[in-house]
Each structure stands twice: as structure tokens, then as C-alpha cells.
Chains A and B, each alone.
Chain A
């Protein structure tokens, strides 16, 4: 069929264009921006709130990752100490993703991040009964920007008092 041939050629050209233009786009370099990021993990304090003096409420993640950084582990150890001192407080760990992923995958990723934080709190003696995990995926960014710094602030697990 001649028409099919024409169609195939058109599509080949179209696909080639898309691939080329994708290649031509600049790689988004997520390097150290004003000392607020390391790799692409947020290290600033703009959005951080405190559960108590010296107890930050959130930890940050690299793109597509749920690994806790050294700084995150320090934050979670402070949270665990605070929770041990306050045995009546229960918490919700709210896991979030940035906007650069599909909605459903991000829901799962948020859950995975909050669980990474939960597991760490548990290894420091906090009972799983006191922790609820809640993923928001990309639904609740703290920063509405469309840039690497904003995305890094949004990739987070936030510990929220449940009672």
C-alpha cells in the first residue's frame, strides 16, 4: 500500500525529529546551587520546620532515590530521641516526590521514602505502632518552582505530629 509507505516515512521523520530535539536539549545540571544542594539533595533550611528545639521535621532525597543521606540520618536520630522523650506522641511520616515523574509512580516513591525514614526511626527504638506512613506523591509540593532547587525541596519525608 502506497499510503502506508508514505505514512511510515512520515513517522520515521517525525520520530527522528523528536529524538534529535531531545538530544539537543541541555542536560539539566543539578549541582550545588548557592550552597543549598549537594549532588541533587537539598541541604538548605528554607522549608524546614522544627518538632522541638534542634529537631528538624524533614529529610530530603536525591532524584528517584529513597536512600537516607548522612544529614538525614542525623535528623532522624534527633527525631527518635525526641519521640523517646515524648512517648505519648505519635507521628505521620508524609512522603513526597518532585513533579518530574508520573503521578502513580510518584505515589509509590513517596511511600518508599517515608518508609525509609520509618525504618530508621524503628532501628532507634521507636515502635511501628507510633508511626503512620502517608504518601502524597507529587500532589503537595512545598515549592511551586520548576527548577532543580525547587524539586530538591519537594523530594522529602516530613514527620508530622499525629496527636
Chain B
């Protein structure tokens, strides 16, 4: 569903290898790069064609709005007000008058053109370095018109990658748990949406409690916990077909599932007789392996990106702390030694960091540490927040936050938030209902 629909037809001009403007991704939003996103130009005939199919008056402007919004929420760019633009979109795309763009302090400029050809959407865009008066990149895509939002996300990813030197994370989706109703009787449904909140869709009806959905590496399958028939078990859901199945045949609660980085196994906890251990199940041959064996609670397992190690939390020391072990369960080492409790460790897709939730003196923190436990950094503090999930480029964390209720027990809400690894650029992600347990997909196109 994902990879085949967007066909990258041809690259117009090879990327210029000269050193032009660069954005330092490690700095946070101290100094976002001012840039101009000129609306993609569109001829009248194409405009009418798309208006008919997509019910959008000007698809060129809509796509550039997506690009502008993505770049803004990244915190690394400052898209300038379109009202200040002096040059018309169609002419800018042919040859920008760099003096004009310089005048409004744009350092980078994005221009482009949209055409309606053979019932297809053809988009070309260019990225310009205004100060150097040079083209940095030019690409064109042809796809079915319904993919217009994804075209906007892919352009954003290309621009982000060209200017920061790292892969973007805009052409991605978030799976999460939608929440409604009173705190004592929440109705929870699996929901999926684009990274920017568009195309929200519910995947379950809310008849049973569902928790902790997580994507597989191809972002087509989801593993999650469902209380179907009041038996909390780990399930596997194929997003395309809607097929669901129980993972394994365990005589009790299975929970805290995640995929292995190759997508072939599910790692999870199985609770029995007051103790929870970590197990894996191979999805091909259904072989179940017991990874930890300890009378404590071992849960929230997450693989390193190379699949060689597993991080998890355990209360074997008396309190919840983070551990790392080999993927066969050998050589278990505690890595969290700070004050407080540590949980929900998640290995960064870059491999160098583990994100976690920390509870200390009545406050919850989202933080990161190196995989040996050194270099702990707390990114955000709140009344209650937990369950970080990494953006595919390992630069942003998404998590959920719950509010404190008042003396009457009113005012509860749960929302999704994101924060940069730098600790800057904290943002709420809008969802149609309350939301929790977010999981970020991989890049849908590359």
C-alpha cells in the first residue's frame, strides 16, 4: 500500500555537491532558518482538473501549505509570511529574483509547479540557496491525485534532508490509542493518522479495551494489547486487510509487545503467578522463547536496531529500573542508577541512545541516556507523561501526557506531545479525541 503508490519518475537535475546552506540539527530551535515556501504554481486547466477530483480549489497552495507546516513544526525552519513575497510563483520557479527573496531575509526558497497529466498528479519542486543564488535540488514526482498530501510530506523530507544532512520524518504515520469517556470507564480504540494529524482513522470500534499499539518496521502490521473477551492478550493486526490474530498460546496475560528490528519476531511480557517475564515469538515458525527468568516484573522490552541487544525494565533490584541484555537473555546489566524509578526504555533507531520515562519525587520525566546508562538527560517534566516513541530519524520523541484532575476528580485529559532530542520544540499533536500510547512508523517512502 505504501511503497508502490508513489513513483519517483525522474530526477531533473543532479544534486549540486557544493557546500551551500546547512542547518545544524543538534542546536534545537535557537535560530530557525528563515525560508520561503512559494506556493506551487498551477495552470488554470490543471487547477480545475484537481478541483473536480480532490475538491480543493488550489492544490498547488495546499501542497505548499503542508510543506510549510512540516518545516515549521520541525522547529529548525522559520517559514516566512507569504504576503511578503514579491515574485509570482510561476516566475519564481523558472528563475528566482534572488535580490527579492534576500530582501525579505529568506535564506532558502522552495518553488514548484503542479500539473494534471493523464489523470495523474505531477509535481516538480526546486530548492534554492538565496544567498549563493544557486539551485540546491530539483525533483519531480508523478502519482495518483489522492496522494497529494504524501507528495507534500515527501517534498518536506527531501528539503529537510538536503538542508540538515539527515533523513526527514514527515512521510510517516502515528498509531495511537484514542480515548473517550470518564476516567473510570475509558473507551479506547486503535487509531492511525499521518504524522501531522491528517487522515485520522479508527481501526477498532471500542468494544474492548486496547493498549500499546506498535508498528512493525514496514509499518503495515501493528502489535497491541487487547482485552477481547476479557482476556488481555497480545494481538497482531494487518492494517491493510484488517486481519487480527492472537500472538502465541499463553495461559495468561501477555502484554508490552514490540517487533524485532527485522520484523520477524514479537517480543513481549507474559505474566503468571505474580511474575512477568520476557518472551519472543517467531512469526514464521511460531516458536516461543523465554528470554528472562526471574521472580520480578520484567517488562517493556525493546530491541537495539541491530537486534543484538534488548533493553527492558525490571523491579528485580526492588524498584523499577532499566536493564540491557543480549538478545538471548544472557549478560543482564542494570544501566539506570539515578534517583527515582525508570521505565519504558526504547532504543533509538540510530542505536546510540535509550529514551525512557522517569518518576522522581512525584514528577514524570521523559529523558534519554546512552546505552551504558551514562549521559542521562531529562528533556521534559510533567505531572504525568510516559511511553516515548522515536521518530524514524531518531531526532524527535513522541509520548503522551495526562493531566491532574481537580479536587472533584474532574478535568482529566490525555494528549500526544512531541519534543526534540535537544529538549527544545515541545509541541502538542492535535487529535480528534484524547490520545495515548503513540508509536511512530518508519519512513513510508525512501
Contact = CB atoms under 8 A, between A and B. Distances in A.
Nearest to B275: A112
B185 A101 contact: no
Interface stretch (B2-10, B92-100, B241-249, B356-364): B356-364
Given A6-B27, A11-B377, A104-B212, A144 B183 contact: yes
Interface stretch (B67-75, B124-132, B259-267, B400-408): B400-408
B230 A102 contact: no
A59 to B, nearest CB: 15
Contacts, number: 143
B363 to A, nearest CB: 6
A107 to B, nearest CB: 5
B155 interface: no
A102 B343 contact: yes
A15 B405 CA distance: 28
B384 A100 contact: yes
Given A15-B378, A99-B384, A133-B252, A64 B274 contact: no
Interface in A126-151: 133-135, 139-147, 150
B300 A102 contact: yes
Contacts of A115: 273-274
A23 interface: yes
Interface residues of B, number: 62
A105 B27 contact: no
Interface string B223-240: 001000010100000000
Interface string B366-399: 0000000000111001011011000000000000
A107 B361 contact: no
Interface string A15-47: 100110111011110000000000000000000
B387 A107 contact: no
B36 to A, nearest CB: 25
A66 interface: yes
Contact of B383 (A101, A134, A135, A146): A146
B63 interface: no
B253 A111 contact: yes
A100 B340 CA distance: 13
B252 A103 contact: no
B412 interface: yes
Contacts of B362: 25-28, 100
B255 A104 contact: yes
A88 B76 CA distance: 66
A22 B383 CA distance: 11
A115 B344 CA distance: 24
Contacts of A112: 271, 274-276, 297
Given A15-B378, A104-B269, A139-B211, A144 B253 contact: no
A18 B359 contact: no
B209 interface: yes
Contacts of B299: 104-105, 107-108
A99 B363 CA distance: 12
Contacts of B343: 101-102, 104-105
B57 to A, nearest CB: 43
Given A27-B362, A107-B232, A108-B269, A102 B387 contact: yes
Interface string B412-446: 10000000001100000000000011000000000
A7 interface: yes
A4 interface: yes
B409 interface: yes
Contacts of A91: none
A26 B402 CA distance: 20
A107 B378 contact: no
Contacts of B422: 7, 10-11
B409 A144 contact: yes
Contacts of A144: 182-184, 405, 409-410, 412
A23 B232 contact: no
A97 to B, nearest CB: 11
Contacts of B363: 22, 25
Nearest to A115: B274
A48 interface: no
A62 to B, nearest CB: 13
A10 B422 CA distance: 9
Nearest to A150: B409
Contact of A145 (B273, B381, B407): B407
Contacts of B184: 140-144
Interface in B324-366: 341, 343-344, 357, 359-363, 365
7 contacts: A19-B378, A25-B362, A66-B274, A102-B313, A116-B274, A140-B185, A146-B405
Interface of A: 3-4, 6-7, 10-11, 14-15, 18-19, 21-23, 25-28, 64, 66, 99-105, 107-109, 111-112, 115-116, 119, 133-135, 139-147, 150
Given A107-B299, A108-B299, 9 more contacts: A15-B378, A27-B361, A27-B362, A102-B300, A105-B315, A134-B253, A139-B186, A139-B211, A144-B182
